[in-house]
Amino acid sequence: MMNISAIKILIVDDDVFVREMLSSILEAGGYSIIMAENGREALEKCLYDESIDLIVSDVNMPEMDGLQLIKEIRTHGLEVPIIMVTGVSDISVAVDALSSGAIDYVLKDEGIEETINITVKRALAKHQLKLQNLQLVADLAAKTSEQEDTLSYLTAIINNMPDGLLVTNAQSRITLANPALGRMFGLNETELPGKNCEDAFSGNLAPLFEMVCSQSEHPVSAQVELVGGGVGSAVAAAIRKQQTTFFKSDEFIGNLVIIRDVTSEKEIERMKDDFLSTVSHELRTPLTSVLGFTKVIRKKLEEVIFPQLPDSDARSLRTVQQIDDNIGIIISEGERLTNLINDVLDLSKMEAGKIEWKHEPAQLPEILEQSIAATASLFENKGIEIIREIPEILPTISCDRDRIVQVVINLLSNALKFTDNGSVKVIADKNYEDNSTAISGQDFIKVSIIDSGIGISEKDRNRVFEKFKQVGDTLTDRPKGSGLGLPICQQIVEHHGGKIWVESDLGKGSTFSFVLPV
């Protein structure tokens, strides 16, 4: 209730004594009072001053009587409540006043001093209640309209989205199916709601039904066949209504299945596979000839031609040496090209998730020894020593052994490539804690390959794991490799749930490390 002194009451009576009496009574009650002599004057004041909260009006007045005043007030769209002051004799007028829109009436008798105050209070309260009620109704209407808008938006989205949508209730009865779903499965989606999943889904839709009925806690996904031989990727999830009560678990109210048409993605994927397969074949067939014949030529030269040359002739000797060197270059470059093709294929398969990964228990020390053995001759040729700091026993890891060997060989070859003297160190350590990983309690084994080579500048450090990015000046430093080795290592390590990184001091050497979960 607002402050009483702020409540403005208009007293309307042609009798100045009544006006003054009512005014003094109500003023004593704390209200602000204004007055009018008849209906016409009252109406003008009301139209002029919208802050009038209540009218207390006589019935019989010249120019415009009380009943007329009510009508005029309401005709002008004013909601201000009106109390009629009527004589004892004309109670029927009070009834008329009420039916015309007065909020209450007071009898002009001895007790008016008390009754007027009560009636005013009651009328104001009643009016307040009415306003609140109106506000609630208006709020509700606004909310309803807002929700209708939201519903319209949602309906428009659902009906126009390219993905198929199917919603079922807790009893597996279909409650919603959108036009995309109809198109995808060649059926009329408007006939679906109300049907039981089991009845509606046969043939192509059977997998959807299974998804819906599984009511799994986690979203489930499946591949489904669409009309016209297309492929859809479907995801189903349970719909749960959040409970307001803290201790109650969420209520299961149905399932949602979203189907995306992935036909063209699959087609593109297939085309890419075909392309890679063809390219790799078409590149390798001539390479096989080039490499093979070169090796045959070398063998024939060494076994048949060279022995026939007089070894006293310096020119012949030089020529033999040159031919031998040149053939060596053809072969090593051919092999480099072969490796590049292999790496491109490997990486594109990994990125496309096409590699079938093995997960076998393996001992890291064995993997490291195998990798060191595979590169030992290269190290020997360059006169670089390999120093091992590998504990004999490390926790078993689950991995694709050949792939991890590939990583270690790659890192060892890199270390060797950039180290001209000194040594390369291989360190394995089980006491590695990954602070950045959210999964606490996960143990990792860390492997580091430390070289004493040229090192990597800070700006290049982040780029070494990018494809075809070989650090250094490509004009002066001839690249030796595909530029795909480290990206492949990264793919492999990350697939195993580990990570790989590099630390380096320019001019002092680099440390490539990776961790694998135990």
Tell me which residues touch other proteins (CB under 8 A): 273, 276-277, 280-281, 284-293, 295-296, 299, 334, 338, 341-342, 345, 356
CB of 349 to other proteins, least distance (A): 8
Nearer to other proteins, 295 or 461 (CB): 295
CB of 424 to other proteins, least distance (A): 28
DSSP label at residue 304: I
Using DSSP bridges, classify how beta strands 423-432 and 385-389 pair: parallel, antiparallel or unpaired. parallel
CB of 484 to other proteins, least distance (A): 14
* Number of Cα atoms under 13 Å in the Cβ half of residue 73: 31
Nearer to other proteins, 182 or 334 (CB): 334
Residue 291 to residue 441: CA distance in whole angstroms: 52
SS3 readout for 316-332: HHHHHHHHHHHHHHHHH
Contacts of 447 (CB under 8 A, 6+ apart): 364, 368, 408, 426, 427, 428, 429, 513, 514, 515, 516
Nearer to other proteins, 183 or 298 (CB): 298
Nearer to other proteins, 280 or 437 (CB): 280
The dihedrals phi and psi of 505, each to the nearest 5 degrees, come to: -115, 120
Residue 35 to residue 101: CA distance in whole angstroms: 21
Nearer to other proteins, 100 or 342 (CB): 342
SS3 readout for 392-458: CCCCCEEECHHHHHHHHHHHHHHHHHCCCCCEEEEEEEEEECCCCCCCCCCCEEEEEEEECCCCCCH
Nearer to other proteins, 54 or 291 (CB): 291
Distances in Å between the alpha carbon of 311 and those of 138, 317, 480? 112, 6, 35
CB of 404 to other proteins, least distance (A): 19
Nearer to other proteins, 216 or 288 (CB): 288
Nearer to other proteins, 176 or 337 (CB): 337
* Number of Cα atoms under 13 Å in the Cβ half of residue 44: 8
- β-sheet bridge partners, residue 510: 504
Terminal-residue alpha carbon distance, the chain: 70
Residue 104 to residue 82: CA distance in whole angstroms: 7
CB of 333 to other proteins, least distance (A): 13
CB of 149 to other proteins, least distance (A): 54
Residue 22 to residue 56: CA distance in whole angstroms: 9
CB of 489 to other proteins, least distance (A): 19
SS3 at position 291: helix
CB of 296 to other proteins, least distance (A): 5
CB of 346 to other proteins, least distance (A): 9
**What's the token pair of residue 364?**
């890291």
Nearer to other proteins, 203 or 286 (CB): 286
CB of 341 to other proteins, least distance (A): 8
Helices (H) and strands (E) counted in the chain, each on its own, are: 14, 17
Nearer to other proteins, 317 or 355 (CB): 355
Contact yes or no for 2/20 (Cβ under 8 A)? no
Nearer to other proteins, 187 or 297 (CB): 297
Nearer to other proteins, 44 or 402 (CB): 402
Residue 142 to residue 91: CA distance in whole angstroms: 42
How far, rounded to the nearest angstrom, does the alpha carbon of residue 482 sit from its chain's CA centroid? 36
SS3 readout for 91-134: HHHHHHHHHHCCCEEEECCCCHHHHHHHHHHHHHHHHHHHHHHH
Nearer to other proteins, 153 or 275 (CB): 275
CB of 403 to other proteins, least distance (A): 15
